[in-house]
Chain A
Amino acid sequence: MRTMTVVGASLAGVNSVQQLRQQGFDGRIVVVGEETHRPYDRPPLSKALLAGRADVDDLWLCDEEDQDELGAEWRLGVRAEQLDPAAGRVRLSDGAEIDTDGVVIATGGRARRLPGIEDMRGLHTVRTIEDALALRAELTGGAGEVVVVGAGWIGAEIASTCHELGLRVTLVESGEVPLSRTLGDAMGSVFAALHTDHGVSLRCRSRVSGLTNVADGDGRRVTGVWLDDGTQLPADVVVMGVGIQPVTEWLAGSGVAVDDGVLCDPGCVTELPSVVAVGDVARYRTATGGTVRHEHWNNAAEQSATAIRNLLAGSTIEHYRPSGYVWSDQYGVRLQIAGELHQPDEVEVVDGSPSDRRFVVAYRRSGETVGVLAMNNPKLFIRMRKQLAGRLATS
């Protein structure tokens, strides 16, 4: 194979380029990225960059020298618009066509929006540098009341940052408690208290049914949020933290199957052995026959090693084993999880105490530890995470 095209120039894309070189591919690599920026790290967008503790220049994933060393052609500011696997060609939004032997799909996703809610001033999502800077400008430009919709990781981090900036924050969550699907209700309650103890108003079992707004120049500006129980919350700024929509439209007609992500086998290979998918966009088949797609930094960082090995081999010779490692910083508290935390038989505090916000909790199934959750306890967490990974590798 002489040319590889990596579509997507964020973490999963850059790691794929690194893996191609590390695994010995010395041909041509073309990287296509819709954003005009060099590859950058997204986790600070909801935290340090939004809070003003980091600049855009702190976000680059590699410096220019490292990027040059990868020996890739960077086509930034253009989208891939069509994949023609039979011809071995990717067509770009600037009209260019790239003849390629293999394709790595790393297109990630765009921020999901609330259905039926039209766009207006004061309404934000956070996915890109521009998103974060635009939100920061409003948060520091006289906003008083902020409503964050969705108390998942991103929503919780944004609520925490808004609190840090001195704003009044209401966090709207459809579930019983935040993160209940990921962590279970008991641990979700610990996260609920983290918000409310910092004066953030948390409204669970609530959905947004509409936005109140006023005319603002040639458009509209949000003034508040209607909840489905009829409550009206005032808001100068509304932030939607309701997940992402995988970017797959450009694959229409390509033969690559898509269903809320790019469908691939347990080794991240699509139905076409010369096309693999990595990162937020990859929906791979698991050993139990289901499919799963992760929207996490570490998955994007880890998945490319397997996907590239299989791409270079021309068939699936290795299955992806996710570490399930996720971290978050909220209200000065460091949260870390690894493994599988849903539907355990037993949840046991193995160190510290949830009320002190310094603890490690083990999630067990049939007596085996399958997941770990920690708050402000990174040293024990990493030991337990390594044990978990070691057991997964030998199972």
Chain B
Amino acid sequence: MISACDLADLPPGESVRIQADVPIAVFNSDGDLYAIDDTCSHQDASLSDGWLEGCFVECPLHAALFDLRTGMPSCLPAKKPVRTHVVLVHDGHIYVDTSSHERTPVAEPVEASASEAVA
């Protein structure tokens, strides 16, 4: 479990990059929290710098769209998905569980308003 940031520091529409074994991007999409691998599966770009629209993030470099729920790219040039990770909120702080992506291909969104642990 990796500490990301305080929930108050990640308002809707914002994203943050945290360092795990690989960099991870955490997004607040209109109150729902998502975490995916930060590095675009196409070429070297940080998805936390991307454009958040609904539950999709557009790569800041080549405009590939990734579904934050599944990590799947929805258009070229990205071909491979990025990994998704489970997000937990506890005592107003955001945590990312990077070990779970192997077990659960689809990360359920977490309500950012939840102040208790949800997993």
Chain A residues engaging chain B, CB cutoff 8 angstroms: 14-15, 18, 41, 43-44, 48, 61-63, 66, 297-298, 301, 325, 327, 334, 336, 378-379, 381-383, 386
- Selected from B50, B76, B77, B79, the residue in CB contact (under 8 A) with A382 is B50
Classify chain B's interface size: 10 to 19
Which residues of the partner chain A approach B113 to less than 8 Å between Cβ atoms? none
* B58 within 8 A of partner (CB): yes
A339 CB to closest chain B CB (Å) equals 15
Known contacts A44-B43, A327-B61; A378/B49 CB under 8 A: yes
Which residues of the partner chain A approach B45 to less than 8 Å between Cβ atoms? 378
The answer to whether B63 touches A379, judged by C-beta atoms less than 8 angstroms apart, is no
Which residues of the partner chain B approach A66 to less than 8 Å between Cβ atoms? 79
Residues in B17-69 with C-beta less than 8 Å from chain A = 43, 45-46, 48-51, 58, 60-63
- Selected from A43, A48, A298, A382, the residue in CB contact (under 8 A) with B49 is A382
A47 CB to closest chain B CB (Å) equals 9
- Selected from A18, A41, A62, A301, the residue in CB contact (under 8 A) with B63 is A301
The answer to whether B76 touches A378, judged by C-beta atoms less than 8 angstroms apart, is no
29 inter-chain pairs at a CB distance below 8 angstroms, sorted by A residue, are A18-B76, A41-B77, A43-B43, A44-B43, A61-B77, A62-B76, A62-B79, A63-B79, A66-B79, A297-B62, A301-B63, A301-B76, A327-B61, A336-B60, A378-B46, A378-B49, A378-B60, A378-B61, A379-B48, A379-B49, A379-B60, A381-B60, A382-B49, A382-B50, A382-B51, A382-B58, A382-B60, A383-B51, A386-B51
Distance, CA A41 to CA B42, complexed state (A): 11
B39 CB to closest chain A CB (Å) equals 13
The answer to whether B76 touches A15, judged by C-beta atoms less than 8 angstroms apart, is yes
The 7 A-B pairs with the shortest beta carbon distances in the complex, nearest first, are: A378-B60, A378-B49, A379-B49, A382-B51, A382-B60, A327-B61, A63-B79
B68 CB to closest chain A CB (Å) equals 16
Which residues of the partner chain A approach B48 to less than 8 Å between Cβ atoms? 379
Q: B100-118 CB contact bits vs A (8 Å, 1 = yes)?
A: 0000000000000000000
The answer to whether A61 touches B60, judged by C-beta atoms less than 8 angstroms apart, is no
Which residues of the partner chain A approach B46 to less than 8 Å between Cβ atoms? 378
CB nearest neighbor in B for A66: B79
Distance, CA A14 to CA B77, complexed state (A): 11
Distance, CA A378 to CA B62, complexed state (A): 11
A97 CB to closest chain B CB (Å) equals 31
Distance, CA A382 to CA B13, complexed state (A): 13
A325, A382, A386 interface centre (most CB from chain B within 10 Å): A382
Which residues of the partner chain B approach A61 to less than 8 Å between Cβ atoms? 76-77
A391 CB to closest chain B CB (Å) equals 16
